Amino acid sequence: MDKETLRERVWDDLDESGEARFPFPPHGRIPNFAGAAEAAERLAETDEWADADVLKANPDAPQLPVRRAALRQEKTVYMAVPRLRDEKCFLRLDPAEIEDIDHATTVGGSAEVGVQVGPDELRSVDLIVSGSVAVTADGARVGKGEGYSDLEFAVLRELGLVDGATPVATTVHERQLVDADVPTEDHDVPLDPVVTPERTVRTGGGENPAGIDWALLSDERRAEIPVLSRVSPE
C-alpha cells in the first residue's frame, strides 16, 4: 500500500471511530488520539526513557503528554523550529529555565519560553520521540508526507548528536498500528519502541540512517534550511 493511501485510511478511521481528539479534523496532521496520556505514561516505563537525559520531540498535540512528562522528570527537550527555517533551528526546553511546564510544552508556549539554539549549542540526544500517522509492527513509519521528521534526524546525525543506535520511539493509537506493507527507503528512520495506550511493541527497528541523502534535496529546499550549509559536503 502506498503511503498516501494509508494516511487517508488512518485519518478517516480515527475520525469515523470517534477516537480522534482536538485539533479536528485529524486529516493533514499528526493526529491526536484518545489515550495519548496513557501512551505517554507507558513510554515513560521503558528503559529507553529511563536512560535518557535529553530528548528530541515533535511539537504535535498527541506528544504533548510526552513533552510534559520529560520536563517533569527534569529531562531537557529539544523541538525543531518549523521547517528548520532558522539558523538556530531548534528550541531548547530546559526544566531549570521553565516555571510553567504546562504552558511551555504547548506550541505557543514553547515558542514563547523555549530558547532557540544552533548546532554548537545542542547536547547529544539520548531519545527521539516522533509523531506518526501510521506505523507497522516492524517499525516502518508514515508521517504527514513532508519529510521533515526524517530530515531532522539526518541533520542531528550529521552533527554527531545521534548515532546508529539512538532509539526513536512513537506514541500512537492502536488504530494507527497497521498491518500493511509500507514501502521504505534508506533515509526513513525506523521506530522502536512503538507505544500505544495498551501496549509497547518492540519492532526490532534496524539501524538508523547514516545521515542526509543529499540527492533527495532540491536546491530550493537547501536554500530554505540554513543548517544544511553547515553540514553540506560541498
CATH of residue 153's domain is 3.40.50.10420
Q: Is residue 229 part of a domain?
A: no
Q: Is residue 184 part of a domain?
A: yes
Q: Is residue 227 part of a domain?
A: no
Q: Is residue 93 part of a domain?
A: yes
pLDDT at 234: 65
d(CA 111, CA 228): 22
pLDDT at 150: 95
d(CA 74, CA 44): 13
Q: Is residue 62 part of a domain?
A: yes
Q: Is residue 125 part of a domain?
A: yes
d(CA 35, CA 198): 9
pLDDT at 231: 86
Which conformational region is residue 218 in: left (phi greater than 0), alpha (psi within -120 to 50 degrees), or beta? beta
Q: Is residue 63 part of a domain?
A: yes
- Rounded to 10°, the helix 64-72/36-43 angle is 40
Sign of CA dihedral 224, 55, 187, 146: negative
Contact 145, 11 (CB under 8 A): no
Q: What is the pLDDT of residues 60-85, one digit of tens each?
A: 999 999 999 999 999 999 999 999 99
In sequence order, what are the residues at sequence separation of 6 or more whose Cβ sits closer than 8 angstroms to the Cβ of residue 125? 54, 55, 56, 78, 156, 161, 162, 166
Instruction: Measure Cα distances from 94 to 11, 41, 53 in Å.
Output: 33, 20, 11
The residue with cell 491526536 is 32
Which domain covers residue 70, as residue numbers?
3-222
Count of domains observed in the chain: 1
pLDDT at 205: 81
pLDDT at 146: 85
Q: Is residue 194 part of a domain?
A: yes
Q: Which residues of the chain have pLDDT under 70?
A: 234
